[in-house]
Amino acid sequence: MYHTLLNSPVGAETQMLLPTVETMVGVLYFGLFAISFDFISGYTGYLSFGHAVFYGTGAYTVILIANGKLPLLGPGTPFMLSLLVGGLIAVVLAMLVGLVSFRLSGVYFAMITLGFAQVFYVFVRGWDYVATNPRDGPAVGPSHAEGFQIGVPGIDQLSLSIGVLTGDEVALLGSTLSGTEVSYYMIGLVVLACYFAMQRIIHSPFGRVLIAIRENEERAIAIGYNTYLYKLGAFAVSGFFAAVAGGLFAGFKRSASPENSFYFLVTGDALLASIIGGFGTLAGSLYGHLFDETVREFLSKAGQGGGLLPYLRALLGQETLDATLVGDTTIGGLIDLLLNGHASLYVGLVFVLFVLYVPDGLLGTLRARIGGTFAEALPEKLWGDSE
């Protein structure tokens, strides 16, 4: 569909408005991380500022296994098993961090999880076992030259490799899907399965207790729930899926660094996605990150692909761009001043506007308008109340 639109008469507008397929792959795996962040923060009210620890754990576990640096697991370990191992290690870490952190609440909980994240970040930056230069982070070595496969372990016919250069190409309906496009669909399948799993947990009795904790923890304690254990369990579940997201990131990129995995600003991006998409909605975090990435790519720097800047340059032409506007300022200079390299500035402004005027986020506001989730409200809108 994307390539069809690119080759259509509105190809330039498509390239300007829509993110690339590679960007969309990133939206999927990081969106899963943001969903896992929303699982604990949006449904219990406890902001985990150290969530990047679990994302980084998943990413580093996949690479260490591929490089044969994790005991008992060689480079030939199936990728799906590596994701599971990364998730289980994250569960153990979440339990250890949570045992201490959930004795606190509010801003103190946020600060202690942030403190744990910084401890892990500094440790990983100096851990020379993971890479020759740990500050740059590990990369998948020659012991695992082929792409990581998503599918049924051990059955090649039911598995496809992911990665920009290592991904499988698939012929489908007269066209060929590139490695990046195949990665988009295969990673999307894992993200979808994880999302449904978290949805199922949220709609279980366990999930209802989490919501009760968010609404009024004292009342939940008063009616007999051990909220400490429930919060600890939710933290472990959230850490597991955050690690799966990190593993998908490492599987697609084939490398990771402390800055793009363990750093606290990685959690900040998840927080941004959750606020834009809607806290306590799960899927909203994915839409929030998609919105964030779309705005960033739309306002990307010159030479970084599609977006408004190259579109305006191509549309106006050099003669118009060189035309003087005021004094020595040309039209091209003014466009550069306003657009080139200022994506973060505009994203920050959008974030402020969302906090002020759309506090429920994109999905939260939409659900409020239609009177419930799509699954609940859409049948009623289409066929009316059958009772």
- 349: β partners: none
Domains of the chain: which residue ranges?
17-277
Q: Which two tokens stand for residue 290?
A: 């998609």
Q: Are 243 and 89 in contact (CB under 8 A)?
A: yes
Say which residue the tokens 């906090």 belong to. Answer: 355
Q: Which two tokens stand for residue 314?
A: 């191509």
Taking the chain (387 residues) in runs of 10, the rounded mean pLDDT of each run is: 67 72 93 96 92 96 94 90 96 96 92 94 94 92 89 83 88 84 94 96 95 93 94 96 97 95 94 91 92 83 67 81 82 81 80 86 85 71 60
- Coil/strand/helix, residue 119: helix
- For residue 6, what pLDDT is reported? 67
Beta strands 159-162; 170-172: pairing state: unpaired
**Which pTM value belongs to this model?**
0.89
Total Cβ atoms within 10 A of residue 199:
16
- 326: β partners: 329
Q: Is the dihedral of CA 246, 197, 372, 216 positive or negative?
A: negative
Q: Which amino acid is at 47?
A: L
- For residue 382, what pLDDT is reported? 66
- For residue 42, what pLDDT is reported? 92
- Helix-helix angle 179-202:21-44, to 10 degrees: 10
- For residue 313, what pLDDT is reported? 78
